[in-house]
Structure 1
Amino acid sequence: MVRFREGAGRLSLDFIRTLRYRGTIGSVEELPDVSALVAWITQCGPCALALDAELVDPTVVRDARSLREAVHELISAARSPGGVSSSSFLSRELVNRAAAVAAPTPRVDPSGALLWIATDPVAATLSLVARDAVDLVTSPAMERVRECADPTCGALFVDNSRPGKRRWCSMGACGNRAKKSTIRSKAAQNRDQSRDQGKDQGKDGSA
C-alpha cells in the first residue's frame, strides 16, 4: 500500500508533496492514476469511506494535478516579494473554484463517533485542500513556510519550532540523510588527515 508523506503542517502543503523531488530531473509523480488519488484521499482526507477507484472519473486525476500545481504556484508567489498578486490569474481562479465546492460535513453517528460525509469525497477533499491554501496564503502563517534545505527535495513545510530555524521537511528523511552525509564527510576528512600525517612522519623518519 502506498504511504504518502504528511507532516508539512498544512493539508495543502502535504498535497503538493505528491510531486516528489519537485524541480529536479528525478521528480516523481505520486498521483499517476485514479487508484493513487483515491489512496491519497483515503489516507489524508477526513472521509472514512472505502472509495472504489473504478467508480471515479479518470479525468479527476488530471484536474487534481492541475489544482496541485495551481496551489504550488499560489503558495510560491505568496513567499516571493511580489506576494499572491504575482501568481497567475488562472491559478488563483482554479484554486478559488475548487474552494467553492462543498466540503465534507461532520456528523455524529449513533455510537458517538465523528464522521465526515460528502456526496463526492474526492471533490470535497480537494475543496479542503484549496480552502487550506487560500487560508494559508492570506494568514501570518505564510511567514513560517520554509523550503527543505535538501536541494533534491523541494518540499515546503510550516516551521512551527519556537526559534523558527527548522531546515528539513522531515528529520527522519532529509534531515537524517544530511546528518549521515556530514558524518561521512568528517570521517573522510579524518582519514585524509591521518594519511597525510603518516606521510609526513615517514618523510621525517627517512630524513
Structure 2
Amino acid sequence: MSVPRVFVVDDHAMVRAGVRAELGGAVTVVGEASDVDSAVAGIRATVPDVVLLDVHMPGGGGRTVLETLRAELPDVRWLALSVSDAAEDVIAVIRAGARGYVTKTISGPDLVSAVQRVAEGDVVFSPRLAGFVLDAFAASAPSAAPAEDPATDPGLDLLSAREREVMQLLARGYTYREIGSRLFISVKTVESHASNVLRKLQLSNRNELTRWAATNRLL
C-alpha cells in the first residue's frame, strides 16, 4: 500500500500539530488549514488522498469545505475528525460525502489505521457513532429490506456464531484490536474470521459488509 497523502483541516494549531505527530511517517502530510477558505484553496492545490476534516470551524465548518470540493475532486476522500459526537454533526457530514467520522479521543495508532482504511476506500466510524448513523440512513432508505423478512441473504446461514459476532462488530466500525478485546480472541483470529465472513458473504470489503448488515437489519 502506498503512503497516503493527507491534508489536515482544523482551526486549532495545537490540534494540527498533534495530529501530524500522531500520524508520523505513516502518511505524508501535504498541507494544513485553519478555516474554510484556506482549506478549499489548499486542497485544490495539493489534491490529497485523504482530508482530515474538523466539523466546526470559522466560515462555515468542515461540511462547507466538503460540499464545495466534493464534485470537483471526486478522488479525494474525506474523514471527519471532531470533538463532537452529536448525532446531527455526524449525520450531516456523512450525508455531505465524508467516508467516516472519528472523535478526537481516538488513539494515534487507530487514527493512522482510520486514515489508511479511508484511503483504500473503506468507511470508518468511531464504534459508538456507527449505530445511530446507520439507523439514520436505514430510516431514510426506501424499502432497504422487507419488514417481514429482516434477514433474507442466505449467506448468513453460512456463518458460525463467532463469525456472526465478528461480522456485526466489523460492520459497526470496530477495529480488529477492539474486536479481539471484546471477544477475548487474538487479532490474528479476528483477521481469520473477518476473511471468512467476507468470503462466505461474497463481499469485497468492510464498506460492502456495512451496507449488507444494514440492509439485513443485523446491526
Question: TM-score, normalising length from structure 1?
Answer: 0.22
Q: Which has the larger radius of gyration?
A: 1
Q: TM-score, normalised by structure 2?
A: 0.21
The one of the two structures with greater contact order (alpha-carbon pairs below 8 A, sep at least 6) is 1
